[in-house]
Structure 1
């Protein structure tokens, strides 16, 4: 290399991914920061079906690759003093695990953590908020098609001897993972508000609400200079309708939120999946899933025995200080048919106190119509706040605790509205050079504008 950079930036791809998926992020980062300022590592040991092997195994591979890179750079005379970590999709969770391992091994005592960013990462998992048979069916089927990673993403796993899902442990305040995350000077995330068939808004944005279920009824507020793509995180939406129209629209909208209103026709994708694709089209899909699960278990066994090219036993430290393309398409299409559901009026579930919500039990409209508020003073507060109270999603208590703990660490959250393509999960980072992915330029430019060297 021409110079001797002191800053290492690590890029981690997602499920079914490979380093090529991060080519645009990597090349854009290089254009912004020269080789004598920044060294870029695009991790490669979790490519393809290796992402089936679970967040723990993937995180250990990443931590090992980072340490080997640092050693190699040191031998070449490069003194790395700063590190940034960027995760895309599942890679964001793998990155959160990896930084916990690096933190526990003392890396952050002499290498300063600077930027931690995720793009479309399912921080709360990918299970559909439960209310109704269709969501239950998908949460059962989906969790069993992606081997160990699937069980962890749907939070039905029991990690080691904790008796808890891995994602719950990742967000535990006593864990090395939260402690590591807190070390970074800058933490940010980017979340698609619509058309993300893999990672919906609430989990990518670490949110117990989804303000974008009815985008046509709202005014979307964008950041100046970012081409109607990056929303203003401080005031993402405001009422679009007049008060007169609000009075007429609110009862119907509130009723829509109180219960699932999908008709049989709207559930057609799920019905088709159950009646047609399972006996016919999904045979190869399920067969591939079974094959990949077997292969994944074999890789994990070799990983555990130290026969996978490196000794990963050093990473087994205390965690608490107390047919790939077709498979991807089918999974995304089925995941996309699921509907958000909300807490019932008589629910006794406790939401996260870190985020304002308007539970249906409090009988407030998600558009904050004055007619449904308890008092004139509350109506005035709602108007001053831009009418942005929303009902809480029917998440699990584990997920509400994840939200609280991650919010307490602190993330700058940037909602993203991809208009030109329906595959926003890929477009958000311009995963490939494809027509319709142009808005990925804007997202990445915003990220680079806020990347601290």
Structure 2
């Protein structure tokens, strides 16, 4: 009889590739080293410029890849009984669309969903909510220079509103997961701001000089290195109208900015060329190629596997350990050029903790929207549109476990996934997440999943 598996499906973001999820995958595999029922798979069908094709087309590619992976496991006498889906940046939106597709074909009647998690995902888009000339220019370029995905991220085509519709297949599918988890960068994420990753109409970290942060004590996460605390206790952190600690540039900040300004003239033309090329290719595909699988085709693809997926086994163990280690293909020359530049000029994380850092308690998620404490005390609301506010309100009707992360890096958008695979805060965060998935999986195996 086929042996049961828990498939953890990892999805990278815009302009990304499978290597961006390698640290996440490695920590999950390490966490489940003694549990051979878990298979970790990094999606590879949607890499680099393919991510410009829009959320819908990207999710359709992922659907086919997921079905292919399940079929491959079936051929090896393994049946997928549980699934978790992890999205990084735009990958979190790809994942939400994918979940809706899985819901529509009855996938979750056969496979039990465990964890849906996102890291620095722009759930409510990346639109700049300001009437300043700079914001208007960025909105115009962003919605046009990132292919069809730009239109999605800047909500010019209403995809994000569709994804957040309470009556939609997307919300119904996400509700089925045992746990919904999100991680949001508090500072230094120049790609996905805090408010959209955290689903908030406020961003207290815009005025960091008014914020007194309280951190959770998680020193046991990485034994080999004294890691500076980074998980923010949102309920005990305080926003004070009086300036608590005026911002000041350290020597490290000055050096980093100087290198950034020196390298910007080299990388900016490359980035503009690649973005323009990707946008043209994506729009040509949308006009001239009608290759999207239709819903009935997706259903047929799943139905081919449906009968085999009903197979169960009384055994929870398989002899030997099987890992799905995807080959980490190098991206194009210019892929991630700007972020790579930020990583190049950034000094390594310091090992000593700040003397005035307030640390207490074990890490806990912010529940019920995560608004108590720091966000409640922040009066300054963002000038977001009614449409974006509705997206945030609808998604906050779901039960989320929210974690705010304050990493000591110049480019926290890369560090939140530990893309450099270094021993530091990013690795500690990935270890923390892997433990969270393991504990949730234990709970699911002990319980009968509730029906919606």
TM-score calculated relative to the size of structure 1: 0.71
Q: Is the 8 A contact 2:147 2:282 kept in 1?
A: yes
CA distance in 2, matches of 1:177, 1:287: 35
Q: Which residues of 2 match residues 2-401 of structure 1 at below 5 A? A: 4-34=3-33, 36-157=36-157, 165-225=158-218, 227-233=228-234, 235=235, 237-239=237-239, 285-300=271-286, 304-305=290-291, 314-315=297-298, 326=334, 328-329=336-337, 388-401=377-390
Query: Are residues 387 and 92 of structure 1, via their aligned partners in 2, closer, same or farther at CA, if it must alter by over 3 Å?
Result: closer
Query: Are residues 40 and 333 of structure 1, via their aligned partners in 2, closer, same or farther at CA, if it must alter by over 3 Å?
Result: closer
TM-score calculated relative to the size of structure 2: 0.71
Moved more, 222-231 or 41-50: 222-231
Query: Are residues 386 and 59 of structure 1, via their aligned partners in 2, closer, same or farther at CA, if it must alter by over 3 Å?
Result: closer
Deviations 1:361-396 (A, max 9, x none): xxxxxxxxxxxxxxxxxxxxx9x9897233211111
- State which of 391, 394, 399 in structure 2 corresponds to 1:402: 391
CA distance in 1, matches of 2:119, 2:333: 21
How far off is 1:316 after superposition? 9.4
CA distance in 2, matches of 1:126, 1:99: 22
Unaligned 5+ segments in structure 1 are: 158-164, 254-271, 318-322, 335-353, 358-381
- Asked if residue 412 in structure 1 is aligned to residue 374 in structure 2, the reply is no
Q: In structure 1, what is the equivalent of residue 434 of structure 2? A: 448
CA distance in 1, matches of 2:417, 2:267: 31
Q: In structure 2, what is the equivalent of residue 433 of structure 1? A: 421
Query: Are residues 29 and 332 of structure 1, via their aligned partners in 2, closer, same or farther at CA, if it must alter by over 3 Å?
Result: closer
Count how many residue pairs are aligned between Structure 1 and Structure 2.
Answer: 359
Query: Are residues 38 and 330 of structure 1, via their aligned partners in 2, closer, same or farther at CA, if it must alter by over 3 Å?
Result: closer
Moved more, 209-218 or 195-204: 209-218
CA distance in 1, matches of 2:46, 2:32: 26
How far off is 1:302 after superposition? 7.5
Deviations 1:48-88 (A, max 9, x none): 11111110011111111111211221232212211100000
Q: Is the 8 A contact 2:267 2:338 kept in 1?
A: no
Unaligned 5+ segments in structure 2 are: 220-227, 247-260, 301-330, 343-367, 442-452
CA distance in 2, matches of 1:409, 1:314: 30
CA distance in 1, matches of 2:127, 2:191: 11
Deviations 1:185-219 (A, max 9, x none): 10000010010011110111111100212223222
Q: Which has the higher contact order (CA 8 A, sep 6+)?
A: 2
Report the 3-state secondary structure (helix = DSSP H, G, I; strand = E; otherwise coil) of the residue aligned with 2:114. Answer: strand
CA distance in 1, matches of 2:197, 2:333: 22
Q: Is the 8 A contact 1:202 1:208 kept in 2?
A: yes
How far off is 1:297 after superposition? 3.3
Report the 3-state secondary structure (helix = DSSP H, G, I; strand = E; otherwise coil) of the residue aligned with 2:191. Answer: coil
CA distance in 2, matches of 1:438, 1:31: 17
Q: Is the 8 A contact 1:304 1:312 kept in 2?
A: no
Report the 3-state secondary structure (helix = DSSP H, G, I; strand = E; otherwise coil) of the residue aligned with 1:304. Answer: coil
How far off is 1:300 after superposition? 4.5
Q: Is the 8 A contact 2:53 2:149 kept in 1?
A: yes
Alignment root-mean-square deviation, CA? 3.4
Query: Are residues 392 and 42 of structure 1, via their aligned partners in 2, closer, same or farther at CA, if it must alter by over 3 Å?
Result: same
